[in-house]
A and B are shown apart, each in its own frame.
Chain A
């Protein structure tokens, strides 16, 4: 077994910088933001997904991960988060392979929609200025975003989820060291 890789070089300031990247992404849906304080995460975890989890996960947040033992060991050590095999019990769901159906995850309740899961999906690539048309809170007129590597039916899943607002899952799309967010409030149309 290889030695455990380190987490953030500066756990306090790197987490702050990563949080601001995620906050910017969640505040401006579809805008692509780069992580500037990477942590050397084990494969198959990419830089952006690693930064999101190191920043937000801890002992209070069960994580459901498909990324294998090395990633679980690394996250367990640096973030201290418990793991659950049940995606409907997780606060964070990490998908390095095929993303699970949104309906499988905890969408919160009408009164407490904030208890819902956040889905962190590793995708092949993100491109701005083309693809989907995003509208809604955080967007002045529209944002364009093309995502390579999501399930074929993601858009129809998203439209079904929009009808359940304020219940819903928030999604962070991670490609390499870049990320874009899809808060449940955003409307997505085919470009």
Chain B
């Protein structure tokens, strides 16, 4: 561990404040809790909210995995993993099954998570109503009353205009049938994984200074309508590398002639599938 830092970078008073916020977030599933976010040695957009949550929970016994859009090897994921290896001396891994804490931006791993794992989401905008109602005082009132008619109206207007709900990412969910919550910009394909997940799910928004949580096994329902039920959509292809027809795929352009292939967004899942087939 590098000298000159407190363990996991944050000072103890900041950790305590974030830890208290996390416990209240767990006690009130889906409710956003303000916290006094600290400046981190990474810019906003690099997951400073997720990093502060991870820094407040992580200990020497943990093994950390960091993914960015499903991949362990992006600049962002590598930076965060190295940061915690340096300031908390923790083991890191790219294997989902070996991780005790997984910090993520924009995906949920394909492999089902377990009770002894915690999933930490980096959240750019925690308020699911912000596009519909910019006044924070008003959104707070709506959450207090569970008054989510505005969101239902918006989705229904989508259906009237597009014939479907036009939201492919950050698709709003109801947590334990009480709070409307942003799942962060994960694909709607991942939403069903949140439902009754055995792992604890924690969400950190650095710029907006909010923390929220979904406890294990908590019902998480994607908003929908009886005549337009929620559907988890993926590209109708098999992964070029591992042949999976179940995983979420990224489209990769292979040449300037318009050639393209589809590969798993979750790089660890794809590698594991390839190893199993070999």
Query: In the complex, what residue of chain A is closest to B201 when comparing beta carbons?
Result: A27
How big is the B interface, by class? 35 or more
Q: How far is the CA of A115 from the CA of B266 in the complex (A)?
A: 38
The interface size of chain A toward B, counting residues with CB under 8 Å, comes to 40
Instruction: Write the nearest CB–CB distance from B175 to chain A, whole angstroms.
Output: 8
Contact pick for A16, options B7, B24, B141, CB 8 Å: B7
Q: Of B13-21, B43-51, B122-130, which binds chain A?
A: B13-21
Q: Of B106-114, B183-191, B214-222, B250-258, which binds chain A?
A: B214-222
Residues of A contacting B178 in the complex (Cβ-Cβ under 8 angstroms)? 165-166
Residue contact A170 to B27, C-beta cutoff 8 Å: yes
Query: In the complex, what residue of chain A is closest to B140 when comparing beta carbons?
Result: A111
Q: How far is the CA of A60 from the CA of B15 in the complex (A)?
A: 13
Q: Which of A46-67 contact B (CB under 8 A)?
A: 55-56, 58-61
Residue contact A27 to B28, C-beta cutoff 8 Å: no
As a 0/1 sequence over residues 1 to 45 of chain B, the CB contacts with chain A under 8 angstroms (1 = contact) are 000001110001101110111111111110101000000000000
Instruction: Write the nearest CB–CB distance from A133 to chain B, whole angstroms.
Output: 15
Contact pick for B26, options A55, A109, A165, A183, CB 8 Å: A183
Residue contact B28 to A13, C-beta cutoff 8 Å: no
Residue contact A183 to B22, C-beta cutoff 8 Å: no
A137 at the interface (CB under 8 A from B): yes
Asked whether A111 and B28 contact (CB < 8 A) given A55-B19, A140-B217, the answer is no
Residues of B contacting A184 in the complex (Cβ-Cβ under 8 angstroms)? 27-28
Residues of B contacting A116 in the complex (Cβ-Cβ under 8 angstroms)? 24
Residue contact B12 to A12, C-beta cutoff 8 Å: yes
Asked whether A113 and B16 contact (CB < 8 A) given A23-B22, A23-B23, A138-B218, the answer is no
The A contact surface, by secondary structure, is loop
Asked whether A19 and B57 contact (CB < 8 A) given A26-B23, A140-B217, A184-B27, the answer is yes
Query: In the complex, what residue of chain B is closest to A136 when comparing beta carbons?
Result: B176
Q: How far is the CA of A15 from the CA of B18 in the complex (A)?
A: 13
Query: In the complex, what residue of chain A is closest to B146 when comparing beta carbons?
Result: A166
Q: List 26 A-B contacts (CB under 8 A).
A: A15-B12, A16-B7, A16-B57, A20-B57, A23-B19, A23-B22, A23-B200, A26-B23, A27-B26, A28-B215, A55-B16, A56-B16, A56-B23, A109-B144, A114-B28, A114-B33, A137-B29, A138-B26, A165-B178, A166-B28, A166-B144, A166-B178, A184-B27, A185-B27, A185-B29, A185-B215
Contacts A27-B215, A60-B17, A110-B145 known; list 14 others, CB within 8 Å: A13-B59, A15-B16, A16-B8, A23-B23, A28-B215, A28-B216, A110-B144, A113-B31, A137-B215, A138-B26, A138-B216, A170-B23, A170-B24, A184-B28
* B interface, CB within 8 angstroms of A: 6-8, 12-13, 15-17, 19-29, 31, 33, 56-60, 115, 140-141, 143-145, 176, 178, 196, 198, 200, 214-218
* A interface, CB within 8 angstroms of B: 11-13, 15-17, 19-20, 22-23, 26-28, 55-56, 58-61, 91, 109-114, 116, 118, 136-140, 165-166, 168, 170, 183-185
